[in-house]
Structure 1
Amino acid sequence: MLRVLYLVHDLSDPAVRRRVLMLAAGGAEVTLAGFRRGENRLADIQGVTPLDLGTTADARFAQRLLAVAGAAAGLARRLAGIARPDVILARNLEMLALAGRASARFGGVPIAYECLDVHRLLLKDSLAGKALRAAESRFARNAGLLVTSSPAFVEQYFRPLSGVRAPVHLLENRVLELDGDETDLPARTRPAGAPWRIGWFGAIRCRKSLDLLAAFTRRMEGRFEVVLRGRPVRSEFADFDGLVAREPFLRFEGPYRNPEDLGAIYGEVDFAWAMDFFEEGQNSLWLLPNRLYEGCRHGVLPIVLEGTETARLAARYGIGVALADARPETLAERFAALDAAAYQALRADLTRHGTRPWVLDRADCAAFVQCLAALRQPAGQAAAAHPVPYLVANKVDCHDR
């Protein structure tokens, strides 16, 4: 059984829980270690008790650097009681910095770098940006694999700007389904005269999206409602609860379990908000968000912005509603004539694909663990044929892109 030490920047991140479940389902034995965010308590994940490396805070980069430095100083002591891992999986740059120390602590362990978002600081042409990229390059020099979720991250950042030269495993943010065998999307019925509902689920961090949806729903005078669920990044809003409370057609329904609650929460909405302006012009253009796959898996139409990687994926499958720009007027014009027949026609384009494009099953989990296990080969052997190959999601063959 492959032993994986998983180093994470935020133990409360739902994506961390999904990755632990995925690794376990693929046959790995997982040790989880990482930072907690403020009020979040440590919690077991499928019997995995995390090692606490300290506390960090959202949007406080300097504080996070200090926390990482402190954790590095005491890392050998914290890891003293665990078995030697076969592979270290480091999520985000700060954990990659710790991975080298952890590897040395165990006499040299292969490292995989998991980067699912490209932070705006890494993209700056300033001295700070160049210093961060140099640090990433240095910390990644011993990484045998880069795990990322969108081809645009590779094309727009890792190839042209980053010094990371590890082979790439493209692992999309698909819905983890370990026990289901459904191939058809769920049927949907809507009460006559009910308002259309847009679901915005997951990490709620985009003030521009909130303002846009508020203006749109007011303009539509109750024909549309927006349901928000998940974790608001409160540092991005002066008063998130007050903003939502003042809007007559927006409501926040709190956190949910992923993947256990996805069917229920998406079953209450008609559209999934798959637009993001948090790092407009950069990361927001390139990402493929969880909510895109979650909504499609549960028969909910994504709303996407033209010119983004999200829109390109939606266009590849011929699904969803694409907007030319992010103005309330554009949203209102696009949905002004929406009726049951038009909605069913759009949904038929989605249902014909079934569930497969949107899910990861046990076979996918095993394939990912096998990719990590391959890092135990002698250095340079796996990547000798291709300097910067892709390991395509859910496959094990390599090719240049």
Structure 2
Amino acid sequence: MTLNVLYLAHDLADAAIRRRVLTLKAGGASVTVAGFERGANVLSDERDVPTIVLGRTADARFAQRIGAVVAARMVLKRKLSGITRPDVIIARNLETLALAGHAASLFDRNVPVVYECLDIHRLLLDEGIKGRLMRQAQRFFGNRASLLITSSPAFVENFFKPRSGLDLPVLLLENKVLALKPELMPASVAPRPPRQGAPWRIGWFGAIRCRKSLDSLIDFAARMDGRVQIVLRGRPAYSEFDDFDAKVSAAPHVEFHGAYRNPEDLAAIYGDVHFTWAIDFFEEGLNSSWLLPNRLYEGGLHGAVPIALSGTETGRFVEKRDIGVTLDNAMPETLEALFEGMTEARYADLASRISIIERNQWITGQAECQALVSRLAALHPNLSSPADMPVVSTVQS
């Protein structure tokens, strides 16, 4: 029996939404998506995935997003009329969790709800009245959920267990590369030093939202005067920068090449760089210290050496596997010292360590997709099946 999933998406422009939908489909599920627009819909080419627009939201406009969720709730019955009755509802982020219980009641109050949270918003961590209200809202709407999906063990240990007030089993799904087409995956990776006289290239790919990283990299690239180039690709959070496009355009030895498709373009874009920028100060000391970003897995699969920050979950990941460079800070002078001493031999040593890591560290394959769908099916009282995907812990307040 096919598992019918209703996926409530916080942002139809987020590439991670497409990856999760493709993962569910590869696992044998049928997926309908209902969500909010902020940019181009990443599911527009997925013709067998019905997509319903619930409204439009904007980055860094919290009040507007609350209004959009309230408005969506008022029309949810009409918007969801005629879709296949879901066996499970997955709500990505708090704003769609607020809709999930009502959506379930439109079909069957026994429909299980899964809360998927891959970033901890700064307001959930605020010690003031706003933070308390946010956590109360999460507890209220989370009472309807049967499972929490998150992407880093540090999220569980630092927020969900001690502070969220939720009492849910947890499924850890790291931000690995979805590997369903062998022709898109590298057979092997090997060091690829720059040709004689060419610069080292550092790739910062994916969600570009860290002003501190951008400023440091621009300053660093200027100091290196052409010996290092910075390559940016992905989706900038324009609300976090004064004028991203003008700043990057004016910066010497810094390139921005726009969005890319994941996983279709990964081999080409990571094959074009030597290092992956895996440092993030967007919510410094909080979410940024706990996350394990997509680029860490994408770069690892394709042999790009990660540059990470000590004391963060990403830094611990890199240090544990001895596969990259960890720094105490990301100041331009620190980066300058690192690359003043970067030789072809040192780079070859760093890159060769990545090449011996088991590929399953970086990828989600067909078996993992099927295990996820099996785990979701086990939540439904009438679709019980073996839970092949282990629960890693339980969130308890």
Q: Do they superpose with TM above 0.5? A: yes
Aligned to 2:188: 185
Partner of 1:152, secondary structure, is: helix
The correspondence for 2:310, drawn from 306, 312, 330, is 306
Q: CA deviation at 1:77?
A: 1.0
* CA deviation vs aligned residue, 1:127-165 (integer Å, no higher than 9, x gap): 111011001001010211000000000000001110121
2: CA distance, partners of 1:172 / 1:19: 11
Q: CA deviation at 1:193?
A: 1.8
Aligned to 2:117: 115
Question: Residues 400 and 92 of structure 1: is their aligned pair in 2 closer, same or farther, counting only changes over 3 Å?
Answer: closer
Partner of 2:28, secondary structure, is: coil
2: CA distance, partners of 1:360 / 1:124: 34
* CA deviation vs aligned residue, 1:187-208 (integer Å, no higher than 9, x gap): 3433222100000000111110
The correspondence for 2:341, drawn from 333, 337, 343, is 337
Aligned to 2:17: 16
Question: Residues 153 and 91 of structure 1: is their aligned pair in 2 closer, same or farther, counting only changes over 3 Å?
Answer: same
Aligned to 1:373: 377
Partner of 2:105, secondary structure, is: helix
2: CA distance, partners of 1:274 / 1:213: 12
Question: Residues 357 and 184 of structure 1: is their aligned pair in 2 closer, same or farther, counting only changes over 3 Å?
Answer: farther
- Does the Cα contact within 8 Å between 1:112 and 1:147 map onto a contact in 2? yes
- Does the Cα contact within 8 Å between 1:206 and 1:277 map onto a contact in 2? yes
Aligned to 1:325: 329
2: CA distance, partners of 1:203 / 1:43: 20
2: CA distance, partners of 1:306 / 1:184: 31
* CA deviation vs aligned residue, 1:102-136 (integer Å, no higher than 9, x gap): 01111211000000000000001111110110010
Q: CA deviation at 1:344?
A: 0.3
- Does the Cα contact within 8 Å between 2:169 and 2:391 map onto a contact in 1? no
Aligned to 2:390: 396
- Does the Cα contact within 8 Å between 1:367 and 1:396 map onto a contact in 2? no
Tell me, which stretches of 5 or more residues in structure 1 are unaligned?
Answer: 383-390
Q: CA deviation at 1:185?
A: 2.9
Tell me, which stretches of 5 or more residues in structure 2 are unaligned?
Answer: none
2: CA distance, partners of 1:201 / 1:398: 29
* CA deviation vs aligned residue, 1:284-337 (integer Å, no higher than 9, x gap): 000000000000000000000000000111112111110011211111112211
2: CA distance, partners of 1:183 / 1:210: 29
Q: Which amino acid aligns with 2:360?
A: R
* CA deviation vs aligned residue, 1:247-284 (integer Å, no higher than 9, x gap): 11101011111110000000000000000000011000
Aligned to 1:7: 8
Question: Residues 397 and 240 of structure 1: is their aligned pair in 2 closer, same or farther, counting only changes over 3 Å?
Answer: closer
* CA deviation vs aligned residue, 1:49-76 (integer Å, no higher than 9, x gap): 3101011111100000000000001101
Question: Residues 46 and 336 of structure 1: is their aligned pair in 2 closer, same or farther, counting only changes over 3 Å?
Answer: farther
Moved over 4 A (4+): 38-42, 181-184, 397-401
2:201 pairs with 1:197? yes
Partner of 1:258, secondary structure, is: coil
Percent of matched pairs sharing the same residue: 55
Q: More displaced, 312-321 or 37-46? A: 37-46
Q: Which amino acid aligns with 2:284?
A: E
Map residues 214-225 of structure 1 onto 2, 5 A cutoff.
214-225=218-229
Partner of 2:143, secondary structure, is: helix
Q: CA deviation at 1:397?
A: 5.7
- Does the Cα contact within 8 Å between 1:195 and 1:224 map onto a contact in 2? yes
Q: Which amino acid aligns with 2:349?
A: A
1: CA distance, partners of 2:93 / 2:99: 10
2: CA distance, partners of 1:151 / 1:65: 29
Aligned to 2:174: 172
The correspondence for 2:165, drawn from 156, 160, 163, is 163
2:52 pairs with 1:57? no
Aligned to 1:296: 300
2:245 pairs with 1:246? no
TM-score, length basis structure 1: 0.93
Q: Which amino acid aligns with 2:293?
A: P
1: CA distance, partners of 2:174 / 2:273: 23
2:149 pairs with 1:147? yes
2: CA distance, partners of 1:215 / 1:4: 47
1: CA distance, partners of 2:272 / 2:108: 52
1: CA distance, partners of 2:391 / 2:160: 20
Partner of 1:90, secondary structure, is: strand
Q: Which amino acid aligns with 1:191?
A: R
2:32 pairs with 1:31? yes
1: CA distance, partners of 2:47 / 2:257: 25
2: CA distance, partners of 1:399 / 1:42: 32
Question: Residues 343 and 39 of structure 1: is their aligned pair in 2 closer, same or farther, counting only changes over 3 Å?
Answer: closer
Partner of 1:54, secondary structure, is: strand
Question: Residues 183 and 191 of structure 1: is their aligned pair in 2 closer, same or farther, counting only changes over 3 Å?
Answer: closer
TM-score, length basis structure 2: 0.94
- Does the Cα contact within 8 Å between 1:226 and 1:250 map onto a contact in 2? yes
